[in-house]
Structure 1
Amino acid sequence: MCLIAFRWQPDTDTPLLVAANRDEFYARPAAPLAWWPDGRILAGRDLQAGGSWMGVTRDGRFAALTNYRDPRDIKPGAPSRGALVAGFLAGSTGAADYLAGLRPAAAYNGFNLLLYDGRELLGYESRADRVLRFDTGVHAVSNAAFDTPWPKVEALKAGLAIEADDDAALFALLADPAIAPDERLPATGVPLEWERALSAALIRTPDYGTRASTVLRLGRRTVGMTELSYARGVPAGERSFRFELD
């Protein structure tokens, strides 16, 4: 994922609401949201490295990941970060213990990881080797630290706070192609034309862009998860799942 907004309400019937976009090169093969062969993990799948960017399990575990954007700090041959999502979903270790076993994650290129084990929601920023516990409310992360005030991060947070009960409205927010003005663009080390293109919630370039938008409602008893797929910026299918927690 490259843009994730989430509402954390641990004392309600729906502790976690997530609205997210996955951005990737079009040439990288991936499978859409589906139950994995074990029947326990519901997630999309990276067919190149075998991991995932976001998923949930039948017993209510959740994981999602964004990459940290800094082309000056890339480790050639680093392990796939998507394996971190798949590893958490496939296991039974609590979020805190999973992160303790992972840190300081120096072998990986930079990432942000969001984990929910059914009790505790934690974020992890590999660049700072920092674990976060979130206040009740709306938070977001893109390709910098959690809650960094990039224009699309702030816009999606504000929209989710208002439209939390309306999936169609959340998908409309995720499909916003608006480019931020130059004076509000971050400086992440990529050329200006890339900063402009990447500032939109829905990214569309000739070779790279938003591949999927997802809305997840993770309740105490039921889970609802819908994914809208894109092909070069054009909607290309929808998959929706609802199930009772084990």
Structure 2
Amino acid sequence: MCLIVFAWRPGHATPLIVAANRDEFYARPTLPLAAWEDYPGLYAGRDLEAGGTWLGVAPDGRFAALTNVRDPGQPVGPRTRGELVAAFLQGRQTPLEYLQQVARRAADYSGFNLLVGDAAQLCYFNPRVGPPVAVAPGVHGLSNAALNTPWPKLLNARNGLEAVLERPATGSLVALLADNRQPSEAELPDTGVGLATERLLSSVFIASPTYGTRASTALIVHADGRRELLEHSFGPSGARLGEVVLSL
């Protein structure tokens, strides 16, 4: 997952609203958003190469999502980051307890941002930034740096989310994730991957023959516990492949 924008509003009629794009090589085998038969009540996409996931929901209001940290010089961790999302969704720890446990073994993973929550709390952890913390109420964004790092794609998506918060709908959330505008060269971050790759990765929605946005996912959590999900999936060059609609 490479871009997540979300509104965390405890006490609101819709306390959590999420719009997220998962960017990956098209050749990596993946299952779309669905129920996991081996874990009743867990709904997520599934990475068939390593077995984890990038975003999902589970009973008791549990939600988790992940982005990687873009750093071509970092060592490759021996464990898959996708298991961090799946393990929280399968467990019973509070968000903060879980992230504190993850912090003790963070060296097992390549760089990551991990967002986990339940009906009472939403927490964030990036081991390069500091210890796990509770997320303050508000509108936030995660790309491939730390929380709210103002990359142009994050600012564009966060502005798009703010524009639909008065009347949120999963369709409008997925629509804002389709933004393929690329910023000027002067606005691009320098993460060590070269100008051409920085430019490719700079838009909210990424499309190329080999790498791009594989899934756009919208989640609306209601105060009474109802959850609405919409996922659009994509193939090479951004070709639309399918749609999943869930009401839980």
TM-score, structure 2 as length reference? 0.94
Kindly indicate whether the alpha-carbon contact (under 8 Å) linking 1:19 and 1:170 is maintained by their aligned counterparts in 2. yes
Are residues 1:174 and 2:174 paired?
no
Picking from 226, 231, 235, the partner of 2:230 is 226
Q: Distance in 1 between matches of 2:179 and 2:118?
A: 31
Kindly indicate whether the alpha-carbon contact (under 8 Å) linking 1:21 and 1:212 is maintained by their aligned counterparts in 2. yes
CA RMSD of aligned residues (A): 1.2
Are residues 1:183 and 2:193 paired?
no
Residue 235 of structure 1 corresponds to: 240
Aligned letter for 2:98? Y
Q: Distance in 2 between matches of 1:167 and 1:226?
A: 6
Q: Secondary structure at the match of 1:23?
A: strand
Residue 147 of structure 2 corresponds to: 146
Stretches of structure 2 that go unaligned for 5 or more consecutive residues are none
Residue 206 of structure 1 corresponds to: 209
Residue 102 of structure 1 corresponds to: 102
Q: Distance in 1 between matches of 2:137 and 2:80?
A: 31
Aligned letter for 1:241? L
Q: Distance in 1 between matches of 2:78 and 2:219?
A: 30
Matches within 5 A, 1:90-169: 90-104=90-104, 105-164=106-165, 165-169=168-172
Q: Secondary structure at the match of 2:199?
A: helix
Q: Which deviations, in whole Å up to 9, do the C-alpha atoms of 1:106-143 show, x marking residues without a partner?
A: 12100000000221100111222332322221100000
Q: Which deviations, in whole Å up to 9, do the C-alpha atoms of 1:12-37 show, x marking residues without a partner?
A: 12211000000001111010000001
Which stretch shows the higher mean deviation, 173-182 or 121-130? 121-130
Kindly indicate whether the alpha-carbon contact (under 8 Å) linking 1:103 and 1:129 is maintained by their aligned counterparts in 2. no
Kindly indicate whether the alpha-carbon contact (under 8 Å) linking 1:115 and 1:121 is maintained by their aligned counterparts in 2. yes
What displacement does 1:234 show?
1.4
Q: Distance in 2 between matches of 1:20 and 1:162?
A: 16
What displacement does 1:163 show?
1.2
What displacement does 1:93 show?
0.6
Residue 12 of structure 2 corresponds to: 12
What displacement does 1:180 show?
1.2
What displacement does 1:11 show?
1.0
Number of residue-to-residue matches in the alignment: 242
What displacement does 1:170 show?
2.1
Q: Distance in 1 between matches of 2:169 and 2:44?
A: 22
Q: Percent identity over the alignment?
A: 48
Structure 1 runs of 4+ with >3 Å offset? none
TM-score, structure 1 as length reference? 0.95
Q: Secondary structure at the match of 1:106?
A: helix
Q: Which deviations, in whole Å up to 9, do the C-alpha atoms of 1:140-180 show, x marking residues without a partner?
A: 00000000000010011111011131333322210111111
